[in-house]
């Protein structure tokens, strides 16, 4: 699926992969995030951290009528307050998508797939 925007100069098509990549990039910049996790890949109770080029596997973009819903699967850092990290990710992703693409996001759902200890 993709989103069609009509402007004065013509039509713009934004694919869900672009939205997912921008959302994933915004999320990993937040404090307390270790990385993105794949929605489908959960082996032996361990979630694999996705690399930058695979953020689309950890972000699901759904479009219902004119509403856009985003599901994000993340791995958080041990010792952080999970509710605060999730709220920060929601705010950051919403801000980035509205600023860069001009889209109004109806909801951003955060799914915590794991907690990791970061070693310095």
* The two three-digit tokens of residue 70, written as one number: 């985003």
Spell out the domain ranges in the chain. 2-116
Q: Do residues 70 and 109 lie in contact, with contact meaning Cβ atoms separated by under 8 Å?
A: yes
Tracing tokens 């992703």 back to the chain, one arrives at 93
> What is the CATH number assigned to the segment(s) 2-116?
3.30.70.1350
pLDDT in tens, 77-120: 999 999 999 999 999 999 999 999 888 899 999 999 888 887 65
**Residue-wise pLDDT tens digits, 37-78:** 877 655 545 556 666 667 677 899 998 887 899 999 998 999
CB 56 within 8 A of CB 24: yes
Core vs surface per residue 3-25: b (16+ CB within 10 A) or e: beeeeeeeeeebebebbbbbbbb
């Amino acid at each position: 699926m993709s989103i069609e925007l009509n402007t004065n100069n013509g039509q713009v098509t934004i694919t869900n992969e672009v939205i997912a990549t921008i959302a994933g990039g915004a999320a990993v910049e937040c404090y307390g995030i270790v990385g993105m996790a794949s929605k489908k890949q959960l082996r032996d109770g361990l979630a694999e951290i996705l690399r930058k080029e695979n953020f689309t596997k950890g972000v699901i973009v759904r479009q219902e009528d004119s509403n856009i819903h985003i599901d994000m699967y993340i791995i958080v850092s041990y010792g952080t307050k999970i509710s605060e990290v999730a709220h920060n990710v929601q705010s950051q992703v919403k801000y980035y998508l509205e600023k860069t693409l001009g889209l109004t996001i109806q909801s951003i759902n955060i799914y915590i797939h794991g907690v990791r200890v970061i070693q310095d």
